[in-house]
Amino acid sequence: MKPSESLKIDAFSMRIGDIEDVELDRLHALSLSVGWPHRAEDWQFLRDVGQGFVVLDEIGRVLGSAMWFAHGADFATVGMVITSPRLQTLGAAQWLMKRIFDKVAVHDLRLNATRAAKRLYLSLDFQPEKTVYQCQGIARAPALAGSGTRGDIRVLDGKDIPAVVALDAAAFGVRRAALIEKLFAHSVGYGLFKGETLSAFALCRPFGRGHVVGPVVAESDADAVAIVQPHVFDHSGSFLRVDTHMKNGEFAAFLSHNGMPVFDTVLTMSLGRRLAEFSGGGVLPAKAYALASQTLG
């Protein structure tokens, strides 16, 4: 049974609209209403790489949103699930999620849940996976270069995209070629090459209050530090953010010591296949050290 296109709630009616049909300033106002840092430009990037719904009231005000980002036929991440404060306890978010289920019924789904939203996703059978540590602050240039890694670091360009896509797939478990290509268009990237082989990379792009570093893929903490270090130098004295599953170890310590302590946490949750069941299908010993974003995974 298909979910309804409209919902009557708290003495007024809401209807579904396509997120592509809404002006960016109205989406920006929605995220501001719940304290999220997304700029209008961040919303536009997400619309370029994903699909979504908005919730509209009788006079066309935007009261909620939900988006999904498909990678292949069987997997998608879900994000930007927002309801205005007046609707957060009235079932609007669940209504939006059921609309997404109707659109992506055959997918394994992954999302990053705020503490306030965890109960909603548990009620929809999402399973907890890993904590994401939102590390951010005014970046400080490292006093010393990282140690324990071998290889050459250089700026990435278009010819490196296939190698980045392959390394990202080995770490994330799903091939995200279209997303990586879009990220390249908005990012500066550094790659660690061991011989002719790309063994680590880190992308950095404008986002929110400053810049976000991610995704970051590497074989070891030392390599992850080495590949993020140039971005920290580039943005020393300005706001920098990294979303990582790493609670301890050299990489987590590096972020904290260089101006990006843990600010908040969210919880990675899955519906369908669990994280451990995903495989990039290759032999590369790659590990995801930072997300592209909490929305994109």
Residue at 111 is within a domain: no
Domain count, the chain: 2
pLDDT reported for residue 56: 87
pLDDT digits (tens, 9 = 90+) for 74-124: 999 999 999 876 666 667 788 889 889 988 877 899 999 999 899 999 999
CATH of the domain at 91: 3.40.630.30
Query: What percentage of the chain carries pLDDT values higher than 70?
Result: 90
Say yes or no: 68 and 155 in one domain. Answer: no
Say yes or no: 161 and 211 in one domain. Answer: yes
Residue at 112 is within a domain: no
Residue at 120 is within a domain: no
Contact assessment for residue 273 and residue 145, using Cβ atoms and an 8 Å cutoff: no
Say yes or no: 141 and 278 in one domain. Answer: yes
**DSSP codes joined into one string, 160-224:** GHHHHHHHHHHHHSS--HHHHHHHHHH-EEEEEEETTEEEEEEEEEEETTEEEEEEEEESSHHHH
pLDDT reported for residue 103: 87
Say yes or no: 88 and 145 in one domain. Answer: no
Say yes or no: 244 and 187 in one domain. Answer: yes
Say yes or no: 60 and 146 in one domain. Answer: no
Decide the pairing of beta strands 239-244 and 51-56: unpaired
pLDDT digits (tens, 9 = 90+) for 115-151: 989 999 999 999 999 999 999 999 998 765 555 667 8
Its domain, for residue 14, covers 6-106
Residue at 241 is within a domain: yes
Say yes or no: 59 and 17 in one domain. Answer: yes
